A and B are shown apart, each in its own frame.
Chain A
């Protein structure tokens, strides 16, 4: 991006709420069921049926609104948004229009505040599937509750957009209002983007991007669109206000519909649903039930446990991870040791296996037991790692594995003396290096001794013995 233009991005994010049942009927919300199995007369919009609002969806939406620093509107209303499409069984979507549930919030990222214009509740549509010349419709998703979060155009770059989305997703996951799984369509974002010459006051013509199914495609799509608009503006042409569809294969965005078909949704108040009234006491109750947010938990990790900014940031990435940390800490009071192990060993395994901490097989108390053995110097770091690896495949405790293999550290002077002697004889060139002043090679020698003794000797003692024999 050169400096000629300023990039202005706003976001519309649709988030699937984590309710058991749909927004206006009692059908279960499930992903991946056989097509048209989670449906009833109400969500199919059969003649004569009426919507009844799921209060759980309202509560989750209020939670999200509060966590995004919004004002909750105590009398909000529903509206019908009309358009014809096979996956929209009533010919309209029930949404909120003039009086949304929450307004005027903000999302805080590293260096700036992105204002949230509004947050409202609405129902999802079904899914159309095009098979050759046929179009089939699955209504399982139809009527699933969503919130739509709309930000002001306060975002300055694709990178910042991704950052905002990451923070938003983290907040919503902490609240447990959504799984925010982008692949499953829980978290769908449609950025709008415009460019203007630096120094210009007036906003440029914006376009909207759809079908961005990962954070990577958000970044790539926005980069593509910036370049496209830049070329248009450089040629002194005008950007057309339209919706563009991102193609993941070709990495390009194409027009979805022509101007002449610009839609009139004919919004009007939904007569089947009364005004949604939320009392001040209900708002207070929900406010009190909000969990600590990631930035709050991070501050605790730094101030209470003395963790570094960086380590704390990693630990609070998900609520489950920081919960795991604190659970472990309850049984072994050594924040640095626990943090170290979580950030390196545990996270390594999670990344390797591609799983989340909530699916990790070793419980916090089992990990604490292992770390206790390590801390009381019954085992060396190396043995601890071996036991850890063993724990991943069995359900035995660290103590059980230790007893089985007799890996407890010993104070065997003869074993120590003989093994050190052996290792020094086998590695004359390393010994030479040491004697030439490169003392750091000693750790290699210690490692060799540990290998031979299967980690049963204390590293401190080995070091002392090596130094003594070399003198």
Chain B
């Protein structure tokens, strides 16, 4: 089959194709899996020093697996979509016998003894795990600058941040270091980097994808999502990882439909535009691109309607109270006793203090402190309790809104990617990057970010929000947006 691969003008182009295209080429025997993986490893070798998207890479294993997969194809017509496809995994998702650092010094030597459920599913689909991607420490950040392993650069312009916290996953998919990646989204951590790097990022409904093996940041908000170069690739990855899992008591048993673009379905949609998302904080250039896209869509769908999500203004405060409280609890286990970093000490409390002092970065410590305070005696009702009540109001806002529309469209981020170092010393400014995304996590809804244009060579993403478990409609609408952008 090697002679056929000459059909590709430039072999490097292989790494820029979609999963669907690679799958077709493998089926057509135009290319071997080994060649695909080799090209990806070459691409990573060439690019990743600049980008710093990976924390761990498994070239040898990946090539060996590629060879095995090439040899065991019995029926070329019937190769499943992810067969032999190199996929990257965010480093807060456990892969058996591999490091799972969470971008933190405290877990810099932690090797997981088990596979996350999503990883098991990817392995069953015979995809190839090529490496584990860089991320904000414990997924706490919007710029991918809080990683113990150094910041990730935006492949579009390496002076800029890729967005966070799944910045590594978004960046490697953008530059061709993997065909798809898993990320995690607690307040926008898949969608924001997808928007900043110009790829498609899906955050499924809470409970749709098992969290077993996802190292928790904020359990009631955390969601494993996908990063890919097309909506169809997104659908394939999503369908592979979704589903009920008896190892996750919060996962939901709700059938996952196979995605197929349905234009007539799109024509029936009423799209809602929340007025609270188009206010002063939004970069006017982004507003313009989004407006244009909405106009184009309005010609195809049934109606576009202005809607209201009145509690939007409280979402960032609510989000940070809840996520820090849960984080302070989830990160209590990193104590130097059983695994991970351990700084030797004379007493038990000194062991805790020194290990956690040295093992956690500044942003993580800040959030643990805020969260601990919010849960402490006498403050619980005022902070965590109030936040839970507002969270319910935000949920109700969406319930109301979906009585009047099928899907909601917003910008993914209020601003373009910013320069590395620009906001790292201003946590409040950084927290506002999530302003359009975190309320969706509070409500547990699915949302997707699709690239819709560029300003000064920096990508802009459109966010589509759907009712719970309606990923099919999200993907259907996203596909429409994607085709309008081509």
| A residues with CB within 8 A of B | 41, 44-53, 80, 82, 84, 86, 89-92, 135, 137, 264, 266-268, 271-274
Contacts and interface: CB of A to CB of B under 8 A. Distances in A.
Interface in B319-340: 325-326, 328-329, 331-333, 335, 337-339
A274 B249 contact: yes
Nearest to B216: A48
8 contacts: A47-B102, A47-B107, A48-B112, A82-B332, A90-B333, A91-B332, A271-B326, A274-B250
Contacts of B100: 47-48
A274 to B, nearest CB: 6
Given A48-B116, A48-B212, A84-B332, A272 B325 contact: no
B114 A41 contact: yes
B249 A53 contact: yes
A358 B112 CA distance: 46
Interface residues of B, number: 45
Contacts of B248: 50, 52
Contact of B213 (A48, A86, A273): A48
A50 B113 contact: no
Contact of B338 (A44, A84, A92, A267): A44
Interface in B89-111: 92-94, 100, 102, 107, 110
A272 B94 contact: no
B247 A52 contact: yes
Given A47-B102, A90-B332, A272 B352 contact: no
A138 to B, nearest CB: 13
B212 A49 contact: yes
Nearest to B222: A271
A21 to B, nearest CB: 14
A48 to B, nearest CB: 4
A47 B94 contact: yes
Given A50-B212, A272-B250, A273-B249, A91 B329 contact: yes
B389 interface: no
Report, nearest first, the 4 A-B pairs whose CB atoms are least far apart. Answer: A91-B332, A271-B219, A271-B220, A266-B375
B146 to A, nearest CB: 18
Given A41-B114, A272-B249, A48 B215 contact: yes
B348 interface: yes
Nearest to A78: B249
Contacts of B337: 86, 89, 137
A46 B339 contact: yes
B377 interface: yes
Contact of A91 (B113, B220, B246, B335): B335
B179 interface: no
B216 A91 contact: no
Given A84-B349, A89-B337, 15 more contacts: A44-B338, A47-B100, A47-B110, A48-B116, A49-B213, A52-B248, A90-B333, A91-B329, A137-B337, A264-B377, A266-B328, A268-B380, A268-B384, A272-B219, A272-B250
B45 to A, nearest CB: 30
A206 to B, nearest CB: 19
- The A interface is mostly helix, strand or loop, or mixed, namely loop
A352 to B, nearest CB: 48
Contacts of B92: 48
A260 B112 CA distance: 39
A82 to B, nearest CB: 6
* Residue of A89, A92, A266, A272 ringed by the most chain B CB atoms within 10 A: A266
B246 A266 contact: no
B174 interface: no
Contacts of A274: 249-250
B247 to A, nearest CB: 6
B214 interface: yes
Nearest to B100: A47
A52 B332 CA distance: 20
A264 B328 CA distance: 14
A89 B329 contact: no
Given A86-B337, A271-B219, A52 B246 contact: yes
A356 B107 CA distance: 51
Interface string B367-397: 0000010011100100010000000000000
Contacts of B212: 48-50
Contacts of B213: 48-49
Interface of B: 92-94, 100, 102, 107, 110, 112-114, 116, 211-216, 218-220, 246-250, 325-326, 328-329, 331-333, 335, 337-339, 348-349, 352, 372, 375-377, 380, 384
Contact of A89 (B102, B325, B338): B338
Nearest to B211: A50
B148 to A, nearest CB: 15
A271 B114 CA distance: 22
B247 A50 contact: yes
* Residue of A48, A137, A268 ringed by the most chain B CB atoms within 10 A: A48
Contacts of A267: 375, 380
Nearest to B378: A264
A450 to B, nearest CB: 70
A89 B92 CA distance: 19
B113 A46 contact: yes
A268 B339 CA distance: 26
A25 B110 CA distance: 22
Contacts of B328: 266
Nearest to B337: A86
Nearest to A40: B114
Nearest to A264: B377
A266 B376 contact: yes
A332 B376 CA distance: 67
Contacts of B247: 50, 52
Given A47-B215, A266-B372, A273-B249, A92 B329 contact: yes
B375 A268 contact: yes
A264 B102 contact: no
Contacts of A264: 376-377
Given A48-B94, A266-B376, A92 B249 contact: no
* Residue of A51, A52, A268 ringed by the most chain B CB atoms within 10 A: A268
A93 to B, nearest CB: 11
Contacts of B249: 50-53, 272-274
B220 A84 contact: no
A45 B333 contact: yes
A48 B93 contact: yes
Contacts of B377: 264, 266
Contacts of A86: 335, 337, 348
B326 A92 contact: no
A91 B215 CA distance: 15
Contacts of A82: 329, 332, 375
A125 to B, nearest CB: 13
B338 A48 contact: no
A266 B329 contact: yes
* Residue of B100, B218, B338, B380 ringed by the most chain A CB atoms within 10 A: B338
A46 B211 CA distance: 14
A137 B337 CA distance: 10
A266 B384 CA distance: 11
A49 B114 CA distance: 10
A115 to B, nearest CB: 27
A132 B247 CA distance: 40
B214 to A, nearest CB: 6
Contacts of A135: 348
Nearest to A51: B249
A127 B332 CA distance: 19
B346 to A, nearest CB: 10
B333 A91 contact: yes
A273 B375 CA distance: 19
